[in-house]
Amino acid sequence: MSSLHELDTPTFRLAVAQFDKAAELMDLDPNLRERLKYPQRSLVVSVPIRMDDNHVEVFTGYRVQHDSSRGPSKGGIRYHPEVNLGEVAALAMWMTWKCALADLPYGGAKGGVAVAPKQLSRAELQRLTRRYAAEIFPLIGPDKDVPAPDVGTDAQVMAWIMDTYSQQVGFAVPGVVTGKPLSIGGSLGREEATGRGVVCVTLEALRHLMIDVRASTVAIQGFGNVGSHTARIMCESGAKIVAVSDVEGGIYNARGLDIPALIAKNKGSGQPLADTKLGERLTNDELLQLDCTVLVPAALSEQITERNAAKLRCRVLAEGANGPTTMEADRIVQDKGIFVIPDILANSGGVIVSYFEWVQDAQRFFWKATDIQDRLNDLMTSAFQRTLRFATTRGTSMRMAALMTGIDKVAQAHLNRGLYP
């Protein structure tokens, strides 16, 4: 792998600081600590593509596998200009703990390309995706490492990866990616799965805190896959969504936003939410500081920091995004008594339904939407209750309880398998 100092970015430092704290609390074997702090395997690739004006541009891509002791590694692919090795490695590490916490037979991985996808034409995006897939081909496969969508990628991108991989091996391999269109082996319910999972554990938290969902207000940062489905399903569950935002800023309505109208207006148009005139404008900073029952960060990492944590006025923080809260902010949020549903628990609905998709592809047998929703609810509710019990009996935070549970399962797998050779 490339030199370790390339990993040294704020997001990687956050993932390692969380791991170190959990490892200390659980008295994890020092030999395992060193291994689990760094990725098992990292690949950095050049992705040259011909742009529509005929010149060639070279993008940098990554695929990092953090751990595969419990099964194939699993994790999304991110297209964003700020993608770097450290961020991808941090996201891969969180995937390892997330899969173990949910009891899925997977390790963690993540990939990405440093690119602004909205600045590419559809043809350029397809060429970029196919060349990136060809470059990471040696690492991926249904029994090795299975990518999925993340920020800036969607079902169409997964379809191009599936096709590129299938062309190389000479037959259709639906199980090489999840989050695909239904026509090529995708699963019902995958697109909304992360949002549905966020809502499932948020409702559990409200029940635990004895707060009526119908009296609850919700603010959501980010209105992409995770944010928009969380908004829609939370609204269907009876809560009032008072604010939502995207990268340009957000909108607010104390009486509750018309979420179906916002989704209809936003879909495909790329129109910034703030320009929709469906609520008063507000900034992303103002959204995070709103007086509300539930705050859902569903955009990027490190949004809640030392700078703004003391100003949070929510009762529940449901982390739809990966790594939205820094270590310093986490301490402040805990001291304020905010109930935190940590990212590796709150947003695990996506990888859970990805697992269902992979199982359906392997069986060549597809399930009904109600089967998927029921099984997702079962897995998420029991993960939430297990984490809450652990946190209560051990007197620790929900974040540490979730991390310690995930890390412990991975540690057990390493100890049982032993050190090769």
Q: Which residues are identified as catalytic?
A: 110
Q: Residue 229 and residue 220: Cα distance in Å, rounded? A: 11
Binding of ligand NAD by 114 (CB under 6 A): no
185 near ligand NAD, rule: CB under 6 A: no
Q: How far apart are CA 135 and CA 115, in angstroms?
A: 16
87 near ligand NAD, rule: CB under 6 A: no
Pick the stretch among 31-39, 207-215, 219-227, 235-243 that binds ligand NAD (CB under 6 A).
219-227
DSSP character string of 35-87 = HHHS-SEEEEEEEEEE-TTS-EEEEEEEEEEEE-TTSSEEEEEEEETT--HHH
Q: Does position 64 bind ligand NAD by CB under 6 A? A: no
Please pick, from the candidates 123, 209, 215, 247, the single residue that binds ligand NAD as defined by CB under 6 A: 247
Site for ligand NAD in 295-334 (CB under 6 A): 298-300, 320-322
State the Cα–Cα distance between residues 304 and 327, nearest whole angstrom.
10
Q: Does 225 bind ligand NAD (CB under 6 A)?
A: yes
C-alpha to C-alpha distances, 222 to 42, 68, 234, 256, 287, nearest whole angstrom? 29, 31, 15, 17, 11
Instruction: Using the minimum distance from each CB to ligand NAD, give the nearer residue, 198 or 213.
Output: 198
Please identify, among the stretches 11-19, 149-157, 359-367, 413-421, the one whose residues bind ligand NAD according to the rule CB under 6 A.
149-157
State the Cα–Cα distance between residues 116 and 104, nearest whole angstrom. 32
Q: Which residue is nearest to ligand NAD (CB)?
A: 224
Minimum CB separation of residue 273 from ligand NAD in Å reads: 8
State which of residues 49, 77, 139, 151 lies at the interface with ligand NAD (CB under 6 A).
151
> In sequence order, what DSSP letters do the residues of 94-153 get, joined into one string?
HHHHHHHHTT-S-EEEEEEEE--GGGS-HHHHHHHHHHHHHHTTTT-BTTTEEEEE-TT-
- Applying the rule CB under 6 A, the residues between 345 and 384 that interact with ligand NAD are 347, 350
Query: Which residue, among 62, 70, 129, has the nearest Cα to 91 in the 3D structure?
Result: 62
User: Interface with ligand NAD by CB under 6 A: which range of 118-126, 209-217, 244-252, 310-318?
Assistant: 244-252
Site for ligand NAD contains 284 (CB under 6 A): yes
Instruction: Count residues binding ligand NAD (CB under 6 A).
Output: 24
Per this entry, what is the length of the chain? 421
Among candidate residues 189, 182, 138, the one with its CA nearest the CA of residue 158: 182
The site for ligand NAD (CB under 6 A) is made up of: 149-152, 194, 221-227, 245-247, 284, 298-300, 320-322, 347, 350
